[in-house]
C-alpha cells in the first residue's frame, strides 16, 4: 500500500505574547497508508487534537512538511487547503457539528455544494448515504429532532458526501452510549473493509486497541511510541525516549 498522508518532522508552535511560546507538537513523523485504520491516542492536552488538525489539512505546521497523496501541502493557502481536503478527507467531529437549521439531508448535501455538484446529483447522493446509515425515515428531520447516535450517523454520511479517500474521526464515540458507540464503530470498520482509510483520534485505549491496525501514542506533544497489530498481536515498532 502506498502512503496517502505523511507528516515529516512536523512542529506546531503557538505564540502567546511577545516572549511566550507554546509547543503543541514537536518533531512528529507519521505515516498513513491507503486502506489503513490508524488511531492517534493520547490523554487530554497531549497534542492529539492539534495533530488531527494537521493530519486533516485544517492547519499548517510551524516547521516540517505534510504530504497528501505525495504533494507537499505545508504552505498552501487556506482556500487551496479547503479544496484539497474537500476532495480527499471526510471529517467526523465529536460534537457532530451539524447545522441546526438544516435537515439531515441538507447537512449531508452541504459539502457537495462546495464541490459544485449538480443539485439533483446532490439530492440522490445524500438520500442514498442516509439510507445506508439506516436513516431513510429521518432525512427531513432537524438535528434537534435526532438522537445522539442518529446525529453521529448523519455526520458520517456527510463525511462520505464527496467520496473521500480518508475518514478522520475525532473521538467518534465520545458523546455516545456504549451500544450506539459500537454501532458507529461498526460503520467505520465496514468502510475500512471497503477500502476507505480511517483515522480516529481518541483518548480511549480500548477503542484504539480493538478497532485500529496501528496506533500512534502521543504524550506531551511527542510521539511516545508506535504500535502495530501484526498477525493479531500488538508489536511496538518505535519507542521515543522522554526528554
Q: Residue 171 sits in which domain range? A: 36-62+74-239
What domain count does the chain have? 1
What is the pTM (predicted TM-score) of this model? 0.89
Task: List pLDDT tens digits, range 29-50.
Answer: 999 999 999 999 998 889 998 9
Model pLDDT, residue 242:
46
* Distance, CA of 88 to CA of 161 (rounded, Å): 11
In sequence order, the 6+-apart residues with CB closer than 8 A to the CB of 209 are: 215, 234
For residue 2, being part of any structural domain is answered with: no
Percentage helix, strand, coil, to 5, in the chain? 35, 30, 35
Please say whether the beta carbons of 9 and 64 come within 8 A.
yes
- Asked, for residue 27, whether it belongs to a domain, the answer is no
Give the CATH number for residue 45.
3.40.50.300
pLDDT tens readout for residues 112-167 = 998 889 999 999 999 999 998 889 999 999 999 999 989 989 999 999 999 999 99
Who contacts 132 (Cβ-Cβ below 8 Å, separation ≥6)?
157
**Does residue 3 lie in a domain region?**
no
Question: Would residue 222 count as lying in a domain?
Answer: yes
Query: Can you read off the three cell numbers belonging to residue 161?
Result: 458526501
In a domain, 11, yes or no: no
For residue 99, being part of any structural domain is answered with: yes
**What is the pLDDT, as a whole number, of residue 28?**
94
Cell of 155: 455526520
Task: Determine whether 67 is exposed, middle or buried from the number of CB atoms within 10 Å of its CB (0-12, 13-18, 19+).
Answer: middle
Decide if 39 contacts 63 (C-beta within 8 A): no
Residue 131 vs residues 52, 93, 161, 187: alpha-carbon distances, Å:
29, 21, 13, 13
Question: 189 in a domain, yes or no?
Answer: yes
Amino acid at each position: 500500500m502506498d502512503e496517502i498522508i505523511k507528516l515529516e518532522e512536523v512542529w506546531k508552535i503557538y505564540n502567546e505574547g511577545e516572549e511566550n511560546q507554546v509547543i503543541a507538537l514537536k518533531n512528529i513523523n507519521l505515516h498513513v497508508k491507503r486502506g489503513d485504520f490508524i488511531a492517534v491516542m493520547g490523554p487530554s492536552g497531549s497534542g492529539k487534537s492539534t495533530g488531527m488538525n494537521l493530519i486533516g489539512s485544517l492547519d499548517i505546521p510551524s516547521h516540517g512538511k505534510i504530504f497528501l497523496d505525495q504533494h507537499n501541502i505545508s504552505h498552501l493557502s487556506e482556500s487551496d487547503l479547503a479544496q484539497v481536503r474537500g476532495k480527499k478527507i471526510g471529517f467526523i467531529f465529536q460534537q457532530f457539528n451539524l447545522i441546526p437549521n438544516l435537515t439531515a439531508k441538507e447537512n449531508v448535501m452541504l459539502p457537495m455544494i462546495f464541490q459544485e455538484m449538480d443539485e439533483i446529483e446532490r439530492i440522490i447522493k445524500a438520500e442514498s448515504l442516509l439510507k445506508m446509515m439506516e436513516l431513510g425515515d429521518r432525512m427531513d428531520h432537524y438535528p434537534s429532532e435526532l438522537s445522539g447516535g442518529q446525529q453521529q450517523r448523519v455526520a458520517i454520511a456527510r463525511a462520505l458526501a464527496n467520496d473521500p479517500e480518508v475518514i478522520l474521526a475525532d473521538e467518534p464515540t465520545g458523546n455516545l452510549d456504549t451500544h450506539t458507540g459500537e454501532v458507529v464503530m461498526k460503520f467505520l470498520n465496514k468502510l475500512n473493509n471497503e477500502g476507505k482509510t480511517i483515522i480516529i483520534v481518541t483518548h480511549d485505549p480500548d477503542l484504539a486497541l480493538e478497532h485500529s491496525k496501528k496506533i500512534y501514542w502521543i504524550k506531551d506533544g511527542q510521539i511516545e511510541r508506535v504500535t502495530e497489530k501484526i498477525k493479531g498481536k500488538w508489536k511496538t515498532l518505535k519507542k521515543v525516549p522522554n526528554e
